[in-house]
Amino acid sequence: MRHIERHRTARIGWLRAAVLGANDGIVSTASLIVGVAAASATQGNVLMTGVAALVAGAMSMAAGEYVSVHSQSDTEKADLARERAELEKDPTAEHRELTGIYVARGLDPALARQVAEQLMAHDALGSHARDELGISDTMAARPLQAALASAASFACGALLPLAVTAVAPGGTLIWWVSGSSLAFLAFLGATAARAGGAAVLPGAWRVTFWGALAMGITAGVGALFGAAV
Q: For position 19, what pLDDT does the model report? A: 77
- Per-residue pLDDT, 171: 80
Distance between CA atoms of residues 166 and 46, nearest Å? 9
Cα(73)–Cα(143) distance, integer angstroms: 8
- Determine the 3-state secondary structure of 137 from DSSP: coil
DSSP 138: T
Q: Tell me the whole-structure pTM to 2 decimals.
A: 0.68
Give the model's pLDDT for residue 42: 84
Those residues of the chain that have pLDDT short of 70 are 1-17, 136-141, 196, 225-229
Mean pLDDT, the chain, whole residue set: 82
The residue among 133, 206, 215, 138 whose CA lies nearest residue 181 is 215
CA distance 58 to 75: 26
Amino acid at 46: V
3-class secondary-structure state, position 46: helix
Given this model, what pLDDT does residue 228 score? 43
Residue 179, Cβ neighbours under 10 Å: how many?
13
